[in-house]
Amino acid sequence: MEILAYLGRLLQTGLGSLAAYLAAHVLLCLLPAFFIAGVLSALIPKEAITRYLGRNTPKWISYPASALGGFVLAVCSCTIMPLFASIYKKGAGLGPAITFLFVGPAINILAISLTGVAIGMDIALARIVLSIGFGIIIGLLLAWIFRKDDAAHDAATNQQDAFTASATVPARTWLLFVLLLGVLIAGTLQVELLTHSYVTFTVGETWAPGFQQWLDRLVPPNPALGIEGVSVHGVFLIGLLLLIGVTAWEGLRTVDEGFNRWTFVALGLITLTLMVAAFKVAVVPAGLTIGITGKWLAEIVLLASIWWLVARKFEVYEIQEWLWEMWRFVRQIIPLLIVGVFIAGMARAVIPATWITTVAGRNTFWANLVAVLFGVFMYFPTLVEVPIAQTFLTLGMQRGPLLAYLLADPELSLQSILITRSVIGGKKTWVYVGFVALFSTLAGLIFGWVVG
């Protein structure tokens, strides 16, 4: 009976973490980010990025372009590898290709958005700045160390035309990208202008407090384990997410073949859900207070502008390709994310905090190195690594080693190392691995000193 009770508590902890995560982080954070990733993948020509990555392109162009290309074209390490192999074999210089490989999975829009919301903007900003900086430095170092091999590779490929061909991004695509980025920022930025309630009204009468008490018993909030609990507002949002899942399955999985009525229902539900998520909702003795926030007003304007722009300025096939790419990312990532958050929630109750505090509870060189090595042998897909990192944080890991883990995990998984070796060879790969491990360890150490 004790074992069953223990398993029941684990299950409750895992489901509680998942429910709180879905209500708090998926909507205003990940939904816009998925749409942005779809735009970047479907509507921005790869040639517009890769044309700037040639070995003979000036470094002040090729390395920033490769960092930008990693941001634009990648979603996770499994996505970046075939792109890295493709651009290298087509004639990209070793240095820009390595920068592209390093930066892509570390600072993609989904991972950075989730990191900022779930762990903190200090970690998110550090990931952006250090990933770009280290990616460029490591690329330059490898290009210099293996300059003879790089020159031979450039002569062998001899495909400069691929990098000089004209390729531009239409202004309407950039405008759509900016508007979607605005939806993401408006939904997640915690400033008074957006979070303040300008109009408030009360509904629900007496049922809301009783319902919230029942939810607190079902999913007890536990700040010590990082479990936020589930609110009445969160229940409505989870219900809308389930409706989106059902309608999107019917309306988006074959959207590349054409629209159907479920496509428009799914898009309408997504728009509605983003608006509902932007309300400021609280349970009070008199019922449920609903606040019209600056965030809600901003979302209304931005969403209306997006759908007007898409309907008036984009061809049908472009919209189909955009929605299909977005759906592909959702289908690839969300199942892994759900499983990862559920397991991370249970891990919070299983892993003794003393383990984490003993290994990484101090900001030392060895603590940061252990965090890097953990990223090699315990790879988690992009986005799943964020709730895992959040779990480590609640169990006592210092923010320095936590950053070291987040920098190294997308780059140094065993499968990524093996694939990189098949593309550029063993010697270059192990030098690359050594630099990534060293720079990630030092980054965590320095960051820990600064925030400490």
H/E element, 63: helix 59-73
223-334-265 Cα angle (round to 5): 110
- CA 137 – CA 124 distance, rounded (Å): 20
| Nearest partner of 337 among 31, 123, 10, judged by Cα | 31
Considering the entire predicted model, what is its pTM? Answer: 0.72
Alpha carbons 129 and 134: distance in angstroms, whole number: 8
The pLDDT assigned to 301 comes to 95
Cα–Cα distance between 379 and 413 in angstroms, integer? Answer: 6
- CA 70/CA 67 separation, integer angstroms: 5
- DSSP secondary structure letters along 6-44: HHHHHHHHHHHHHHHHIIIIIIIIIHHHHHHHHHHHHHS
**pLDDT at residue number 375:** 66
> Containing H/E element for 355?
helix 353-360
For position 163, what pLDDT does the model report?
45
How many C-beta atoms surround the C-beta of residue 128 within 10 A? 17
Q: What is the per-residue pLDDT across 51-77, written as a single tens digit (0 to 9) for each?
A: 677 677 788 888 888 887 766 655 556
Residue 230 phi, psi dihedral angles, 5° rounding: -120, 130
Sequence ranges of the domains in the chain: 43-168, 173-336, 350-451
Do 269 and 244 meet the contact criterion of CB atoms below 8 Å apart?
yes
Q: Give the single-character DSSP code of 92.
A: B
What pLDDT shows up at residue 352? 65
Phi, psi of 202 (to 5 degrees): -115, 135
Q: Is 19 exposed, middle or buried (0-12, 13-18, 19+ CB in 10 A)?
A: buried
Per-residue burial over 337-349, b if 16 or more Cβ lie within 10 Å, else e, is: beebbbbbbbbbb
pLDDT along the chain (452 residues), means of 10: 71 73 68 80 70 75 79 60 71 84 76 76 84 89 89 69 60 91 81 87 79 81 64 86 92 90 94 90 84 92 95 93 88 74 70 67 83 68 69 79 84 72 87 90 86 72
Q: How many angstroms separate the Cα of 417 from the Cα of each of 7, 86, 95, 127, 255?
A: 37, 16, 17, 21, 35
Residue 279, Ramachandran bin (φ over 0: left; ψ between -120 and 50: alpha; else beta): beta
Shortest CA distance to 452 belongs to which of 377, 393, 400? 400
Reference 295, options 382, 436, 380, 196; nearest CA is 196
